[in-house]
Amino acid sequence: MFQKILIANRGEIALRIIRACRELGIKTVSVHSTVDENSPHVRFSDESVCIGPPESHLSYLQIPAIISAAEITGADAIHPGYGFLSENPHFAEICHSCKIKFIGPTSENIRILGNKAKAKEIMKAAGVPVIPGTEDQLDSPETAKKMAREIGYPVIIKSCFGGGGRGMRIVEKEEKIEAIFSSLQKEAFNSFGESNLYIEKYLQKPKHIEFQILADTEGNIIHLGERDCSIQRRHQKLIEETPAAQLSDSLRKKMGEAAIQATKAANYTSAGTVEFLVDSKGGFYFIEVNTRIQVEHPITELVTGIDLIKEQIKIAAGHKLLSGKDNFRFEGHSIECRINAEDPKKFIPCSGKITALNLPGGPGVRVDTAIYCDYTVLPYYDSLIAKLIVHGKDREEAIRKMDQALHEFQVEGIKTTIPFHRKVFKNKNFIKGEFHTDFVDSFLQH
Amino acid sequence: MFQKILIANRGEIALRIIRACRELGIKTVSVHSTVDENSPHVRFSDESVCIGPPESHLSYLQIPAIISAAEITGADAIHPGYGFLSENPHFAEICHSCKIKFIGPTSENIRILGNKAKAKEIMKAAGVPVIPGTEDQLDSPETAKKMAREIGYPVIIKSCFGGGGRGMRIVEKEEKIEAIFSSLQKEAFNSFGESNLYIEKYLQKPKHIEFQILADTEGNIIHLGERDCSIQRRHQKLIEETPAAQLSDSLRKKMGEAAIQATKAANYTSAGTVEFLVDSKGGFYFIEVNTRIQVEHPITELVTGIDLIKEQIKIAAGHKLLSGKDNFRFEGHSIECRINAEDPKKFIPCSGKITALNLPGGPGVRVDTAIYCDYTVLPYYDSLIAKLIVHGKDREEAIRKMDQALHEFQVEGIKTTIPFHRKVFKNKNFIKGEFHTDFVDSFLQH
Amino acid sequence: MNFKEIKKLISIFEDSKILSELEVEESGFKVRLKKSAHETEVIQTTPSAQPSSSKPSHTAVGKTEEAHEAGMEGLIKFESPIVGTFYHAPGTNKKPFVKEGEIVQKGQILCIIEAMKIMNEVEVDIKGRIIRVYVEDGTPVEFGQPLFLIEPL
Amino acid sequence: MNFKEIKKLISIFEDSKILSELEVEESGFKVRLKKSAHETEVIQTTPSAQPSSSKPSHTAVGKTEEAHEAGMEGLIKFESPIVGTFYHAPGTNKKPFVKEGEIVQKGQILCIIEAMKIMNEVEVDIKGRIIRVYVEDGTPVEFGQPLFLIEPL
């Protein structure tokens, strides 16, 4: 097992990883920018290294600074968390060449699965259903038009290197292809340094369902059930739950098998997520593999009883997955709300000092956060300030628990998305489990 | 099911009951003294009634004010929590005569089991092992001496109406009986209005182990496993865990059966606790039945998956116990630390304003509390400000989780028992599970 | 004196309504704090004179509290001594115990509060004029809830 | 009182709506803070005023920060621009790049910081005298850690 892990992240996920390391008896090194000097991830780690100024690209994204920090502290592994460098194949490669274990998949895994078109190709070859669309990159708006005619409108054009809702656009009519194509190309180049695009059928009213995968280096693969992430705004997930509300057992079984098939086809190791869209007729289509721990991993932990971060670390250390007492089960229902420091109507990030705070608690309530009263939410980083996760006997109990926990969750001094969540948990369609990826857009209009 | 429950309590347990009611779809009425006007239990209940000035005996112990509050708000049941009126048979009786359901056992149950000598008599008759001692009240120091000679020193002399460590004294030698007898008689009269005493064999190095019982009105009784409450100071529990660290499965089984036997013998309904002392030779002796929900109930909840407060409410409403989906299991290990606003060395209660607060969180960590940053701990009430509860796969993981959670739990402005707990969780004997009720005394001396 | 202590000193100084300057000197160590003229003025305005001599003591059953709202100087709020249901008259269709404008004597019954089926007569402990009745007949009242506004005479 | 504490003190002073002056003196060390009448000019700064024209801009590789400790007026702290291991000399048994008391020219190499097996030469961006070397040869340094105290010339 590792002696000392450097955590190349901040906020709640850094704290989450510190907690897992502590339980495993592993020392922790946190890294921080100058403004994060007094943050919880710094306070609660065994050592800490300042790696740069506030701006992410000069600190948390600064590969040499992070590798150096690992070297001067003698860390033998790096956990990247999510975001920042977690899906950067170059970083994984450098870690490897510096003989520091990158806790995640291989750089090859990240590189191939990070290319959406390439990933789709692999899955198609492995017999995993994919959304009809181009296998190759689009070379021109003309090819896009030709493909769109074959597939049928609406279609969606995406950047090969996009993700998290960025670098994609829905096209309803042929006459709009030209303009969207070129603007998307520019946007993709500016955001990801690559302008490659591809096209797909756009599914209407789909559910976004992902499967949590664990794969060890010995080739053992299991899935720990699905997560319904359909409650999203501009492709940013806001609420996740497991099990999915309206998914038949037979479809769940088929999709779980496809997820394992996908993992095998990609020769993947570590914790990962296979994402699907499910249409109203029970058709399901592979979208992508997320090669990192997900923000929403806690709901799977509560339902299965598995600590995913610990499992991820153990797999990286060469352990067989779920060795020892780590049996899993599927028990009850779990839901997560992402509490963002954002205006609850327009979702504009908002920074500032938290002047009053009441965190919810009690049975079946878990809060993953690195905020406290008097903490200042900084404008440099992600707006996620807390994850509120509940676990109940069934979906109804989980919803009531979340409703109460949201009621108790009080933050003053900054705007948060709590009022948005409170409304969702009183919405009839949500309560009935009748929702698709368009839920938030139509919900916000009313 | 009840429409509206009045909660005759304050602090974390009042909030705990509100949470359970919310999940059951029951409206809540809180009661509060003038100084508790802005407390969480008031903020998070549906209605609230001010029942008196700060002093408990003029507010939270004021039966007419509480009954009146239930009447003017139309509450059809009262949950007494723990402490205050929870074990007052007179209060349970008045509730009954006012046609308000008292959520707990019958007043008869409380009255009989509240009399320690009487309870022992019943248990002895039912074949539940009891500690050798008097069956009747002691009439004089002479009888005490005679009994002590029969039983063998050391003995313990207790008030029939004492509890929670008050009204009891260990006697090592015959020549001390006289003085202790009369001082205890006075003390008992001043504290409980009754001076009746009884005598028992004093067990050396015993473990204090209690069983959680649920009994419905149809005569169904189950136990939900034991809790080891041996870590106590002056008979005040500080740390509790389940399962007990060094209890053989065969002894556990025998004790569980005895607990059910005891419950049956007392004709008991509702949630309750049967307490035993276990000596080093595996002998176990009934001490008492606690006729209320216990402070330490959450550890049983985490291990069994049962919401004890909800179960208690449902039983009071006449439901069959564990109806519906409420199956239970015994999974993992759970520990609770009572965080008191007390000096961690001398355990002197300390009131004041909390100027900074960081609550622990993450997987397997539960915090039951009604404090927040800027909350003022009042001198009028119990010093318990939070319960920190963890759940791990096994005892080792639970200990590591608690160690980390205590590390994260930061309170400024007042003294708390957190430093005491942090030391206990680094103590070798505690970690090995080798401790008895004398642990804290000898631990504090070093 | 360490940094924390200086911080505390500042907060004590800020909170003080009386101090305008503060200086601490101790074996070569010195702290001096001064408030701005404007701020000191604001603080000095608050203790505007109010006749504290008119404060009544608590009644046997009822509780009176000085009224602090604007235009209510010198008036007394008579608060409910118990939780229950407020009755303004001894029975339905009966005349109320007191009306607004009426002068009441010390020991006179102002209302009944029913608690646990018992009718509790509530007496006033001062002589005064009833300025306002806050609560309607038959409404529930909590402990300390204002029932009457009284001008002491 | 160290630099961090002075910074905190200033921020407390700035945030306070009440304080107009603050003075801390400790064994020959003194901080005096005063708010201007208009409140636009925030701090009237520490004892002997210092020519702000002498403040250097950031170097290409290094970063300099005005020293605020007592007796360090006008001095500059040269901070580490990167995380890594500090080397005071180009190799073992070699002469150090600079010694205390030495005058350095703009662009001169002060030290090497090794990061990811790469030796990064760190240049100074001002002319000045090395007053102090804070870090020992071969020790790890983090971003922003003071390496040298320099008197600008």
Q: Please tell me the predicted confidence (pLDDT) of residue D114.
A: 92
Q: Are residues A314 and A255 in the same domain?
A: yes
> Tokens standing for B416?
């708390």
What ranges make up the beta strands (E) of A16-55? 27-33, 47-52
- Among the ranges given (A15-24, B83-92, B174-183), the one the predictor scored with the smallest mean pLDDT: B174-183
Q: Answer for the pair B201, B152: CB distance below 8 angstroms, yes or no.
A: yes
Tens digits of per-residue pLDDT, B271-286? 999 999 999 888 999 9
Q: Please tell me the predicted confidence (pLDDT) of residue D122.
A: 94
Average pLDDT over residues C42-49: 27
B4 φ/ψ angles, rounded to the nearest 5 degrees = -150, 125
Q: Please tell me the predicted confidence (pLDDT) of residue A66.
A: 97
Please say if the pLDDT value at position D53 is more than 70: no
D100 touches chain A (CB under 8 A): no
- Among the ranges given (B234-238, C59-63, D68-72), the one the predictor scored with the smallest mean pLDDT: C59-63
- Candidates C124, B389, C80; CA nearest to A361 is B389
Q: Please tell me the predicted confidence (pLDDT) of residue B193.
A: 77
Tell me how far apart the terminal alpha carbons of chain A are, to the nearest angstrom: 53
Of the partner residues D5, D19, D28, the one whose CB lies closest to the CB of residue C14: D19
pLDDT, chain B, mean: 93
Torsion of CA C85, C87, C91, C96, to 10 degrees: 180
Which residues, other chains included, contact A403 with Cβ-Cβ below 8 Å and sequence gap of 6+? A422, A425, A426, B22
Q: How many CB atoms are located within 10 Å of the residue C89 CB?
A: 15
| Burial class of residue A70, CB neighbours in 10 A (0-12, 13-18, 19+) | buried
Tens digits of per-residue pLDDT, B372-383? 999 999 999 999
Asked whether the CA dihedral C91, C93, C95, C98 is positive or negative, the reply is positive
Which one is predicted more confidently, B161 or A145? A145
Question: What total of structural domains would you count in chain B?
Answer: 3
Q: If pLDDT is split at 50, 70 and 90, which confidence band does D37 have?
A: very low
C119 φ/ψ angles, rounded to the nearest 5 degrees = -90, 110
At how many degrees (to 10) do helices A308-316 and A11-24 cross?
70
Q: Are residues B263 and B356 in the same domain?
A: yes
* A44/chain D closest Cα distance in angstroms: 18
Q: Please tell me the predicted confidence (pLDDT) of residue C27.
A: 60
> Tokens standing for B293?
């929900």
Q: Are residues A136 and A165 in the same domain?
A: yes
B22 touches chain A (CB under 8 A): yes
Specify the CATH number for the domain of residue A158.
3.30.1490.20
Range of the domain at A63: 4-103
Please say if the pLDDT value at position C33 is more than 90: no
Please give the C-alpha separations between residue A249 and each of A226, A277, A391, D34, in angstroms, as whole numbers: 11, 17, 21, 72
**CA closest to B12 among chain A residues:** A362
Asked whether the CA dihedral C90, C91, C93, C99 is positive or negative, the reply is positive
In the sheet that C118-123 helps form, which strands lie side by side, from edge to edge? C118-123, C109-115, C84-87, C140-141
> Tokens standing for A333?
């229902």
Highest-pLDDT range among B68-77, D15-24, D64-73: B68-77
Residues of chain C found within 8 Å of residue B69, distances taken between Cβ atoms? 83, 142
User: Residue A367: beta bridge partners?
Assistant: A388
Cα R_g (chain A), whole angstroms: 21
> Tokens standing for B192?
């409980």
The ranges assigned to domains in chain D are 3-44, 58-152
Q: Answer for the pair A130, A201: CB distance below 8 angstroms, yes or no.
A: no
Give CA–CA dist D114/D126, Å, rounded: 23
pLDDT, chain D, mean: 74
- Fold type of domain C58-152: OB fold (Dihydrolipoamide Acetyltransferase, E2P) (2.40.50)
Q: Answer for the pair A14, A7: CB distance below 8 angstroms, yes or no.
A: yes
Which one is predicted more confidently, C55 or A441? A441
List alpha helices for chain C, DSSP H.
3-15, 37-45
Q: Which residues of A133-166 are buried (b: 16+ CB within 10 A; e: fewer)?
A: bbeebbeebebbbebbeebeeebbbbbbbbbeeb
What ranges make up the beta strands (E) of D76-143? 76-79, 84-87, 103-104, 109-115, 118-123, 128-133, 140-141
Give catalytic residue positions of B.
292
Residue B112 belongs to a domain: no
Q: Please tell me the predicted confidence (pLDDT) of residue D41.
A: 28
Chain C neighbours (≥3 Cβ pairs under 8 A) are B, D
Please say if the pLDDT value at position B110 is more than 90: yes
* B394/chain A closest Cα distance in angstroms: 9
Of A169, A201, A233, which one is at a domain's C-terminal end? Answer: A201
Instruction: Check CB contact under 8 Å for D27 and C28.
Output: yes
* C29/chain B closest Cα distance in angstroms: 27
One-character DSSP codes across B17-53:
HHHHHHHHT-EEEEEEEGGGTTSHHHHTSSEEEEEE-
CA–CA–CA angle B174, B176, B179 (5° rounding): 135
Residues of chain D found within 8 Å of residue C34, distances taken between Cβ atoms? 19-22
Give CA–CA dist C63/C48, Å, rounded: 26
Give CA–CA dist A21/A79, Å, rounded: 10
Please say if the pLDDT value at position D59 is more than 70: no
Residue given tokens 């606003």 in the structure block: B341
Instruction: Check CB contact under 8 Å for C116 and B59.
Output: no
Q: Are residues A306 and A377 in the same domain?
A: yes
Residue A328 belongs to a domain: yes
Residues of chain D found within 8 Å of residue C7, distances taken between Cβ atoms? 8, 12
- Candidates B290, B112, B286; CA nearest to B201 is B286
Instruction: Check CB contact under 8 Å for B366 and A368.
Output: no
Q: Along chain A (446 residues), what's the average pLDDT of each consecutive run of 10 residues? A: 98 98 96 96 97 95 96 97 96 96 97 90 94 81 90 88 74 91 86 83 91 96 97 93 95 97 96 95 92 98 97 96 79 97 92 96 97 95 97 96 97 97 96 94 83
**What proportion of chain B, given as a percentage, has pLDDT over 70?**
98
Identity of the amino acid at A243: P
* B84/chain A closest Cα distance in angstroms: 21
**What proportion of chain B, given as a percentage, has pLDDT over 90?**
79
Interface of A with B in 349-378 (CB under 8 A): 356-359, 361-369, 372-374
Q: Can the peptide bond before residue B154 be classed as cis, meaning omega within 30 degrees of 0? A: yes
Residues of chain A found within 8 Å of residue D85, distances taken between Cβ atoms? 71-72
Tens digits of per-residue pLDDT, B312-327? 999 999 999 987 656 8
- Candidates D76, D61, D65, D70; CA nearest to D128 is D76
Q: What's the predicted TM-score (pTM) here?
A: 0.83
pLDDT, chain A, mean: 93
D144 touches chain A (CB under 8 A): yes
Q: Please tell me the predicted confidence (pLDDT) of residue B135.
A: 67
Instruction: Check CB contact under 8 Å for D16 and C10.
Output: yes
C138 touches chain B (CB under 8 A): no
Tens digits of per-residue pLDDT, C3-25? 566 666 676 666 665 566 666 66
Average pLDDT over residues D84-94: 91
A264 touches chain B (CB under 8 A): no
Residues in C lying within 8 Å of D, measured between beta carbons: 3, 6-7, 10, 13-14, 25, 28-37, 39
Residue A119 belongs to a domain: no
Tens digits of per-residue pLDDT, B192-207? 777 888 888 888 889 9
Instruction: Check CB contact under 8 Å for D20 and C34.
Output: yes
Q: Answer for the pair B402, B334: CB distance below 8 angstroms, yes or no.
A: no
Specify the CATH number for the domain of residue A378.
3.30.470.20
Q: If pLDDT is split at 50, 70 and 90, which confidence band does D29 have?
A: low
Residue A112 belongs to a domain: no
Specify the CATH number for the domain of residue B25.
3.40.50.20
Q: Please tell me the predicted confidence (pLDDT) of residue B192.
A: 75
| Contacts A–B by Cβ distance under 8 A | 107
Chain B neighbours (≥3 Cβ pairs under 8 A) are A, C
Q: Please tell me the predicted confidence (pLDDT) of residue D27.
A: 57
Instruction: Check CB contact under 8 Å for C83 and B69.
Output: yes
